[in-house]
Amino acid sequence: MRFVLVRKSTAVKVLLLIIVAVIAFCGCYYTGSAVVWQNKTVRSLPIYRVGTEDKVVALSFDAAWGADNTLKILDTLTDYDIKANFFVVGFWAEKYADKLKTLSESGRVEIGTHSNTHPHMSKLSKEAIRPELTTSMSLIEEITGVRPELFRAPFGDYNDTLIDTAKEEGLFTIQWDVDSLDWKNLSASDIAVRVLKGVRGGSIVLMHNDGKHTLEALPLVIEGLKNKGFTFKTIGEMIYRENFTIAHDGTQIRS
């Protein structure tokens, strides 16, 4: 009898171990923890950075509200003979169409969409996401003559549905790996220090056209990066258009 009880006890333990293993595997798979072993994720991801050994960097500015410093930012880019990106919201593009046209025609700024109304897009259905993209894209194209190929989600807020829908509309979804935190009204020197410490080859830097000290910080950032040997490209020039994968940390890697 004791032998039978021992065997039953062992069988129960084995069964419990199997159940725990199955739960752990499912949890690993569905939460993306599998990236630890496989360097990939089951989630759809935006591009945070481009994997390259070249010392290139892309500066990007989100434009959703004000525009007072927009053309001054363009002047700074011109003074230093570099290019950058602007991600603009539809209502901003409509309100400041003349400035958007000037940015585009300068040859120094690549324009992307930042949605049409700046919502938390991960909370939207696919049916609501699509017009946020297409309406803003059409508006930008109408003003600049160029249809956007890049999209940045408002608040950096995304999910699989958003990334996949953007892809269906021909858009590369772009995040960032270096946040200047200019939106927190940091001083110009603090903004520059954050960027200079964080940038590496293929980095995408997040800034804002209406940040309180962004315009003041921009020359410090540009000069600091140039002194480190970096050159500047637009995101569209930097990313891979085909034959690529996106690692678990958002780095776009050529396949």
Q: Is the pLDDT of residue 14 over 80?
A: no
Mind listing the pLDDT tens digit for each residue in 224-254?
999 999 999 999 999 999 999 999 999 999 9
Query: How many Å apart are CA 10 and CA 111, to the nearest integer?
Result: 65
Q: Strand locations in the chain, DSSP E?
A: 49-50, 56-63, 84-88, 109-113, 150-151, 172-173, 178-179, 203-208, 231-232, 244-246, 251-254
Residue 159 pLDDT grade (very low, low, confident, very high; cuts 50, 70, 90): very high
Closest CA to 147 of 175, 121, 172, 118: 172
Task: Specify the pTM.
Answer: 0.84
Q: Where are the domains of the chain?
A: 2-31, 49-254
What is the residue-averaged pLDDT of the chain? 89
Report the CATH fold assignment for 49-254.
TIM Barrel (3.20.20)
What is the residue whose two structure tokens read 């999910």?
A: 159
Q: Is the pLDDT of residue 4 over 60?
A: no
Using an 8 Å Cβ cutoff, are 65 and 91 in contact?
no
Give the pLDDT score at 56: 98
Mind listing the pLDDT tens digit for each residue in 65-103?
999 999 999 999 999 999 999 999 999 999 999 999 999
Give the pLDDT score at 44: 95
Residue 192 pLDDT grade (very low, low, confident, very high; cuts 50, 70, 90): very high
Catalytically annotated residues: 62, 208
Q: Is the pLDDT of residue 113 over 50?
A: yes
